[in-house]
Chains A and B, each alone.
Chain A
């Protein structure tokens, strides 16, 4: 079963991943947005949640499977 899931993930690229750029965070294959504010954004994913803290945080792109957050990012917490 795990093998099938791995193959599916490889083909469809369904694994959660996050790229931290200069004052930008690009998150792929998330589940939903838990909280959205200019100082805090909480993103839920399969295995937990990500807390992004900062100033003037905004959503620059919001697709079904991808979210791009811009702003003055200070901390990123994963749990």
Chain B
């Protein structure tokens, strides 16, 4: 095949040779090492032959009484000839393609679709900062995605969503503004009370009058920061109390833990596998050493809407099943860890476990039961509106 291509590309010439005793001429060519690729006898004294173009000059020297005429050309010489004839057309087409390519690589118009002129101007300016302006080169898809992301992150309070669409030599920018609900309603007068029974550990009041001291005990619903501003036991003013109160709270939890411990653990073995999914069948491609158990994260590469077939890329992580029979001490430790985990899950920012104590341990046939007492540093802020009547009193 390769040889055929090389042969086809080699420059060849078709010659018409006329003269007496044409066989003698053929022998002469043969003696001079001229190869005849094809030979057609027209009559006794006339033949058409195809030779390599490099031998043509030799034939001209050997022709003597024979009349030689070039009829056709083949291979590279023919291509060259055609190019030479059509050079102006070819140059024009190439130039046209280059110009078209250059022109379509530029942006000549930016259209921002929004009713607000101010927003339009602000977006236009922002895009300019990222190099998106008229008569500049188009950005790549990746760059546009990055710019969109950066604008969204920068103006999270103003823009909900932005889309930059390329249409020929034009960018169409669509935006969705973020509507912030104005806090027009006046805040209601209120007290800050204790959410639960606790010992106060921290009070941060921004409005209102503090009624309790640090390390004082409060019951649920007791006022900690009052919205009523007192002066010698007379209410001078009523405001919406604002602030935050942290206190020490207590919980008793009961937790059970089995003596037979099972866990699925990930190993460090990971690989990407291409999978063809057909109905409920999964065909893994080029996956010789399959994991017995694994955790899979997959990404769809190709999907057919008509047929239930798709190609997905799976990120497989090998997992191992650990089964362990625990001693009482180990089970207690695991139960404690589980209880701590459960409590921590419910804690919010700035909240933490001060201390914990196992109150009692109940060993059953297959499991262990623990009662644990927790001391928590917790936000105990709650609000109670101040009624008008009370205010008037």
A-to-B contact residues, CB < 8 Å: 32-33, 36-38, 58-64
Contacts and interface: CB of A to CB of B under 8 A. Distances in A.
Nearest to B49: A62
B23 A60 contact: no
B324 to A, nearest CB: 69
* Interface of A (DSSP majority class): strand
B39 A62 contact: yes
B23 A62 contact: no
Nearest to A60: B39
A32 to B, nearest CB: 7
List the 4 shortest-distance A-B pairs measured between CB atoms, nearest first. A62-B36, A36-B23, A63-B35, A58-B41
Contact of B39 (A37, A59, A64): A59
Contact of B37 (A33, A37, A61): A61
**What band does the interface of chain B fall in when counting residues whose beta carbon is under 8 Å from A?**
10 to 19
B29 interface: yes
A64 B36 contact: no
B33 interface: yes
A50 B52 CA distance: 28
Contacts of B39: 58-62
B101 interface: no
Contacts of A63: 35-37
B27 A64 contact: no
A36 B27 contact: yes
Contact of A38 (B23, B24, B27, B29): B23
Given A33-B30, A61-B38, A62-B39, 5 more contacts: A32-B30, A58-B39, A59-B23, A61-B37, A62-B29
A32 B32 CA distance: 11
A12 B31 CA distance: 23
Interface in B267-318: none
Nearest to B51: A62
Contacts of A37: 23
A32 B27 CA distance: 9
Contacts of B35: 62-64
A71 to B, nearest CB: 9
A63 B34 CA distance: 8
Contacts of A36: 23-24, 26-27
Contacts of B31: 32
Contacts of A58: 39, 41
Interface string B38-64: 111100100000000000000000000
Nearest to A32: B30
Interface string B380-393: 00000000000000
B41 A62 contact: no
Contacts of B30: 32-33, 62
A73 to B, nearest CB: 15
